[in-house]
Amino acid sequence: MKLSKIFSDEEKKRIVDAIAKIESTSSAEVRVHIESKCPASPVDNAVRAFSKLKMHKTRDKNGVLLYIAVNSKKCAIVGDEGINKNVDKNFWDLCCEKMLLSFKNNNYCQGIVDALGMAGVELTKHFPIREDDTNELSNEISFGK
C-alpha cells in the first residue's frame, strides 16, 4: 500500500486541522512527516527530514517536526534552535510516549492529533501568535519512504 494511503482523507484533514489550530495561536511552524520504516534512530531520521523539509528556514527558528515511522511504530519530535531554547526535550519525549500508546493499537491518527494538542499548549505558551505572523511552512503531511 502506498504510504500516503495509510490515512483516510478524513484522518489527513484531522491532522492538518490540528496543525492549523496550533498555528492560529502560536508563531511556531509545525509539520508531520510519515515514513514506513525506521531501522535506525528515529531522532536521526527526524533530523534528516527536518533539514530536507527546510524547516530551519523559519524567521524565528521555531519549527517543530513530528516524525513517525508507522510500520516500525517509532516516533521522534525535533525542534529548531528557538524551540530547543524554550521547550525541554523531556516534553517532546512525553508527546512521543502518548503517540506510541495509540500506535500500539494502530490508531495513528488519534495519537498524532493528541500529541499535536499537547504541543500546541506548550508552543503557544513560549511562542504566542504575533501580529505580523505568516504561515511559513506547509501544514500538509509529508510522506517519505
Q: E strands along the chain, which residues?
A: 29-35, 63-69, 74-79, 142-143
User: Whose grid coordinates read 490515512?
Assistant: 7
> Per-residue pLDDT tens for 2-12?
777 889 999 99
Stated pTM of the model: 0.93
Cell of 115: 500529541
Would you kindly state where each structural domain of the chain is located, as residue ranges? 3-143
Say how far apart CA 127 and CA 11 lie, in whole Å: 27
The CATH classification of domain 3-143, taken from the options 3.40.1360.10, 3.10.310.50, 3.30.1490.100, 3.40.630.10: 3.10.310.50
- Give the separation between CA 71 and CA 143, rounded to whole angstroms: 13
Decide if 93 contacts 73 (C-beta within 8 A).
no
Query: 52 burial class (0-12, 13-18, 19+ CB within 10 angstroms)?
Result: exposed
pLDDT digits (tens, 9 = 90+) for 107-126: 999 999 999 999 999 999 99
pLDDT tens digits along 57-89: 888 899 999 999 998 999 999 999 999 999 998
Q: CB burial class (10 A; 0-12, 13-18, 19+) of residue 88?
A: exposed
